[in-house]
Amino acid sequence: MRSAIITIGDEILIGQVTDTNAVWISQQLNSIGVQVGEMVTVSDEAGQINATLDRYIGKYDLLIMTGGLGPTNDDITKQTLAAYFNSKMVTVQEVKDKISAYFKERGRSMIESNLLQAEVPEVCRVLMNNHGSAPGMWFEKDGTILISLPGVPYEMKGLMEDHVIPELISRNNVPHVVHRTIMTQGVPESYLAAMLRDWEKALPECVKLAYLPRPGIVRLRLTIVDKCAIDAEQILDVTIAKLLDIIPEHVFGYDDISLEESLGELLRDRGLTLASAESCTGGNIARMITSVPGSSSYYSGSVIAYENRIKSGVLGVNSQVIEDKGAVSREVVEQMARGVREVLGTDTAISTSGIAGPDGGSNEKPVGTTWICVQNGEESYAKVYRFGGTRERIIDQASYTALQLLRRLLLKNL
């Protein structure tokens, strides 16, 4: 099955928005063995949309189209598709009811444009949207499936996961594709590649390896395209076992589990509570931890001590130590971690103090210099890092490193 992805939106063509939908969709399609042959972005203009459909229908088995389904006048995809398929518009009662219920629940009154969202071309099959009001639409013509989805990323993702992917899997008889993703933290991509060179050389021929870096994290994706699923799983098990022998301390999970979920599972399993004291990461660690549903069962809270006054006043860091050693020092992060454990009464703690930039660096402590401390009742571990990149990258790397350090402390793997 071969596919193309069509993105509709002037905001992308003028460079105001990066098209992250297309990349996500191509990942999903590839993961179920659907090849993506082309991606194209066109403007919110009927002529361009029609020309693109003319070109692709009949050429590809599947077209996924996103964007232009909003309630405002600049969104014209639905009308254009109705005209393209010579179909009149009909109201879908189920969608209408859902929209009405949504507004009623929130005690808000509905306006006409909201109800227009319930209209679709008669010729399409409706895909119910559980995350918003614009439904997805499934068309078929000349052997091509055309699926139109909203451009809002979480609505598009919901429709893909709820409807599109499951249905494509059940229709699809492409070769079986098995993916495993190994999540690593703490080693940049090029170093990791060097550490894994021999392992990579010895990979069975059918196994494809990809390095997928993100800020602070590198994912290793192993892929087997094979009709024999049982063999593939076994081969991957053995391959991963060999990998774990080489970098046990850097792997924190599999298949896109996040580091914060992995740490949360560990804390919950051990019945431990956590607090954080953040300076340079400015709440990013707290945000990551609390992004996990149920995190309140192990996470008590945080003190963001952006000013030195807070470090001493709230966390009890000795102000003479701040003056002598500087806020970015081993002594200060250790006292911050101890302080937040005491003030919030938790079993474990994470603390950070660094220079996120772009200003504030010195020769001795350049931008990116970051002290991190992790503690439990018996142990305290502090280390200095020198992260590179923008302010955002430095904050991200410090946050990931801190979570991974606590994981390794708890696993006695430091």
Using CB under 8 A as the binding rule, the residues of this chain from 347 to 376 that contact its own copies are 356-359, 366
How far apart are CB 19 and its own copies at their closest, in Å? Answer: 7
Cα dihedral sign, 37-39-40-44: positive
Please report whether residue 212 would count as binding its own copies according to CB under 8 A: yes
How far apart are CB 322 and its own copies at their closest, in Å? Answer: 14
Region from 89-97, 160-168, 210-218, 406-414 binding its own copies, contact rule CB under 8 A: 210-218
How far apart are CB 5 and its own copies at their closest, in Å? Answer: 9
**Residue list 312-341, contact with its own copies (CB under 8 A):** 313-314
Contact with its own copies (CB under 8 A) among 221, 268, 330, 383: 221
Residue type, 352: T
**Per-residue string for binding with its own copies, 250-269, x by CB under 8 A?**
------x-------------
Contact with its own copies (CB under 8 A) among 209, 240, 272, 414: 209
* Token pair listed for 281: 């990461």
Nearer to its own copies, 190 or 413 (CB): 190
Nearer to its own copies, 166 or 213 (CB): 213
Contact with its own copies (CB under 8 A) among 91, 234, 291, 319: 291
* Token pair listed for 406: 């606590």
Sheet holding 380-386, edge to edge: 274-278, 348-354, 369-375, 380-386
How far apart are CB 235 and its own copies at their closest, in Å? Answer: 18
**Residue list 51-110, contact with its own copies (CB under 8 A):** 55, 70-74, 102, 105-107
**Residue list 172-201, contact with its own copies (CB under 8 A):** 179, 181, 189-191, 193-194, 200
How far apart are CB 123 and its own copies at their closest, in Å? Answer: 26
H helix or E strand, kind and range, residue 31: helix 20-31
Nearer to its own copies, 345 or 378 (CB): 345
C-alpha to C-alpha distance for 306 and 310, rounded to whole angstroms = 7
How far apart are CB 387 and its own copies at their closest, in Å? Answer: 9
Please report whether residue 19 would count as binding its own copies according to CB under 8 A: yes
Q: Which residues, in sequence order, are bridge partners of residue 127?
A: 136
C-alpha to C-alpha distance for 263 and 179, rounded to whole angstroms = 23
How far apart are CB 262 and its own copies at their closest, in Å? Answer: 18
Cβ–Cβ < 8 Å for 401, 368 = no
- Angle (deg, nearest 10), helices 259-270 and 391-410: 30
Counting every residue written for the chain, the total comes to 414
- Distance linking the first and last C-alpha atoms of the chain: 47
H helix or E strand, kind and range, residue 177: strand 177-185
C-alpha to C-alpha distance for 92 and 85, rounded to whole angstroms = 18
Sequence-distant (6+) residues with CB within 8 A of 322 are 308, 311, 312, 332
Please report whether residue 240 would count as binding its own copies according to CB under 8 A: no
How far apart are CB 344 and its own copies at their closest, in Å? Answer: 6
Strands 125-127 and 136-141: antiparallel
**Per-residue string for binding with its own copies, 22-61, x by CB under 8 A?**
xxxxxxxxx----xxxxxxxxxx---x------x------
Contact with its own copies (CB under 8 A) among 135, 186, 282, 354: 282
Strands (E), 229-297: 251-254, 274-278
DSSP string covering 211-225: EEEETTEEEEEEEEE
Region from 12-20, 226-234, 241-249, 406-414 binding its own copies, contact rule CB under 8 A: 12-20
Q: Which residues, in sequence order, are bridge partners of residue 89?
A: 121
Q: Say which residue the tokens 């660094």 belong to.
A: 354
Nearer to its own copies, 107 or 271 (CB): 107
Region from 138-146, 231-239, 330-338, 383-391 binding its own copies, contact rule CB under 8 A: 383-391
Nearer to its own copies, 110 or 123 (CB): 110
